[in-house]
Amino acid sequence: MNEYDSKRIADLLIATQEFELTDKPESADFLILNTCSVRDKAQEKVFSELGRWRPLKNENPKIVIAVGGCVAAQEGENIIKRAPCVDIVFGPQTLHHLVDMYETVQKTALTQIDVSFPQIEKFDHLPKHQADGVTSYITIMEGCNNFCTYCIVPFTRGREISRPVESILDEAKTLAAQGVREIMLLGQNVNHYHFESHDLAQLIRLVAKIPGIDRIRFTSSHPKYFSQNLTETFRDVPELVNHLHLPVQSGSDRILAKMHRGYTALDFKNKINALRKIRPQISISSDFIVGFPGETEKDFEATMQLIEDIGFDTSYSFIYSPRPGTKAEKLTDDIPLNIKKKRLKILQATIYQHAEKISQGMLGTTQKILVTGFSKKNSDQLSGRTENNRVVNFQGDATLIGQFIDVTITEALPNSLRGTKKNSM
């Protein structure tokens, strides 16, 4: 979501015709840090980056520094107290005010803070989404009402609000007209999307009808809202990839209840089984939190059992990080750090083994990939992605960029695959 927001901030500034992007902080007039506060470590990185920017501002006081995103929403003016080089603090829902805030700083030299959650949607105030390649994100909803006991998102991104269907379809059509072939629909609870009579399943069907959009992904779903209707969309909409990211967090019902997740491990398994009846090959990735307060060895074993039962492909897994203002922050964090680290290592090693096995199983198979550009390591080669999100490098002509082609997988490396091109489609 932050990547999407950062992209839209760039679109906003470029549309004024007064800015262009630079990736060198020392040559910038306006430095913007978009931040994440989901874990403490991400938050601390903000202040270390600002520490690196401070000397630039000392040298050239005309530089304007802005901090946006969830740390900004959470800390507000405290950001400026702790880092006085900052001129602007804006939240995830006020990024469309950034140009006005910049101009006010230029005119008055006064700091500007706006971390409110205005009812009017930022999307109505953003310019055309400029495509950057053949895949693109589209945020379809903002905020979250779930208040999982460990999570800061409902406090920093505000209450859940879904974008109008027409506004999303317009954005998707604008992107398709610029050559985008794959769309990732984004939301904190993307499968809780609802606008008037439309849910995510209906929205996906409409996006799939847009000429040029031939691949659709969505993230992050919440298991509680993963409906039969959405499962059936996987049967009816071939544009939906054979991959689902469904964060489970834990395999222990006791911990899931303490996290306020609203499902059991069995509910989760039942939903995946129903989906696998329709798409036997679907790969499932997930999020895990290790070392939630009170997690016993038995709770952890239940998580490992679920990992075996489901055969997760990849994961985003982290040690629990207490977040200010959340319910879990008040629980006694009673697990020693070395135990948390050990559990995380075991969990990640197991999922990594699964991923390796899945990659090995792809050897010799034909995979449909979307060719996204040149290979990062070898610019003589092209690179594309399979439905289950693996990078495939192969020999091919640059005219294939932006096309779906069939490749035969010839080699499975730890972080990518190699293949040979069959026929283009």
Interacting span for ligand SF4 (CB under 6 A) from 69-77, 144-152, 262-270, 352-360: 144-152
Instruction: State the binding partner of 136 from ligand SF4, ligand SAM, none, CB within 5 to 8 A by kind.
Output: none
In sequence order, the β-bridge partners of residue 368 are 406
- Residue 204 β-bridge partners: none
325 close to 155: Cβ distance less than 8 angstroms: yes
Nearer to ligand SAM, 180 or 256 (CB): 256
State the residue for tokens 């006020």.
94
Nearer residue to ligand SAM within complex by CB, 321 or 388: 321
Which amino acid is it at 371? V
| Residue 188 interacts with ligand SAM (CB under 6 A): yes or no | yes
Candidates 151, 347, 358, 362; binder of ligand SAM (CB under 6 A) is 151
**Cβ atoms within 10 Å of 214's Cβ, excluding its own:** 18
Burial class of 269 by CB neighbour count within 10 A (0 to 12, 13 to 18, 19+): middle
**3-class SS of residue 243:** strand
Kindly tell me which residue out of 183, 186, 289, 355 binds ligand SAM, with binding defined by CB under 6 A: 289
Work out what residue 269 binds among ligand SAM, ligand SF4, none; the CB cut-off runs from 5 to 8 Å by kind.
none
Provide the minimum distance between the beta carbon of 160 and ligand SAM in the complex, in angstroms, as a whole number.
Answer: 10
Stretch near ligand SF4 under the rule CB under 6 A, chosen from 139-147, 266-274, 356-364, 415-423: 139-147
Given ligand SF4, ligand SAM, none, residue 291, with its beta carbon under 5 to 8 Å by kind, binds none
DSSP-assigned beta bridge partners for residue 154: none
- If the CB atoms of residues 1 and 32 are measured against ligand SAM, the closer one turns out to be 1
Question: Shortest distance, CB of residue 249 to ligand SF4, whole angstroms?
Answer: 8
The H or E element that residue 215 is part of is: strand 215-219
- Subset of residues 350 to 409 that bind ligand SF4, contact rule: CB under 6 A: none
Distance, CA of 317 to CA of 314 (rounded, Å): 9
Residue whose structure tokens are 């074993």: 301
Determine if 323 is a binding residue for ligand SAM (CB under 6 A).
yes
- CB-count burial class (<10 Å; 0-12, 13-18, 19+) for 348: middle
Residue 151 binds ligand SF4, judged by CB under 6 A = yes
Shortest gap between Cβ of 322 and ligand SAM (angstroms)?
7
Verify binding: residue 37, ligand SF4, rule CB under 6 A.
Answer: no
Q: Choose between 134 and 186: whose C-beta lies nearer to ligand SF4.
A: 186
Q: Of these partners, ligand SAM, ligand SF4, none, which one is at the site of residue 352 (CB under 5 to 8 Å by kind)?
A: none
With CB under 6 A as the contact rule, the residue among 147, 159, 341, 363 that binds ligand SF4 is: 147
Is 189 a binder of ligand SF4 (CB under 6 A)?
yes
Could you tell which of ligand SF4, ligand SAM, none binds residue 158, using a CB distance below 5 to 8 A set by kind?
none
**Element (H or E) spanning 4, and its range?**
helix 2-15
β-strand partners of 315? 286
The residue among 129 and 217 lying less far from ligand SF4, judged by its C-beta, is 217
How many residues of this chain interact with ligand SAM, rule: CB under 6 A?
17
What is the 3 state secondary structure string of 388-413?
CCCEEEECCCHHHCCCEEEEEEEEEC
Name residue 414's beta-bridge partners.
none
- Any contact of residue 405 with ligand SAM (CB under 6 A)? no
Q: Does 153 bind ligand SF4 (CB under 6 A)?
A: yes
* CA distances to 206, 221, 224, 262, 396 from 227, in Å: 18, 11, 8, 14, 41
Residue 148 interacts with ligand SF4 (CB under 6 A): yes or no: yes
- Bridging pattern class, strands 141-142 and 194-195: unpaired
Residue 220: cis peptide before it, omega within 30 degrees of 0: yes
Q: How many CB atoms lie within 10 A of CB 23?
A: 6
Contact with ligand SAM (CB under 6 A): which of 202, 220, 227, 420? 220
Is residue 332 exposed (0-12), middle (13-18) or buried (19+ Cβ within 10 Å)? exposed
Strands (E), 143-188: 161-162, 182-186
Kindly tell me which of 217 and 421 has the beta carbon lying closer to ligand SAM: 217
Interface with ligand SF4, residue 146, by CB under 6 A: yes
User: H-helix or E-strand containing 287?
Assistant: strand 283-290
To the nearest whole angstrom, how small is the minimum distance from the Cβ of residue 304 to ligand SF4? 21
Residue 147's binding partner among ligand SAM, ligand SF4, none (Cβ under 5 to 8 angstroms by kind) is ligand SF4
Cα–Cα separations (whole angstroms), residue 382 to 133, 386, 399: 14, 13, 10
Compare residues 189 and 317 and give the one whose CB is closer to ligand SF4. Answer: 189
In the complex, the residues that contact ligand SF4 under the rule CB under 6 A are 144, 146-148, 151, 153-154, 188-189, 222
In the complex, the residues that contact ligand SAM under the rule CB under 6 A are 38-39, 150-151, 153, 188-189, 220, 222, 247, 249, 287, 289, 318, 320-321, 323
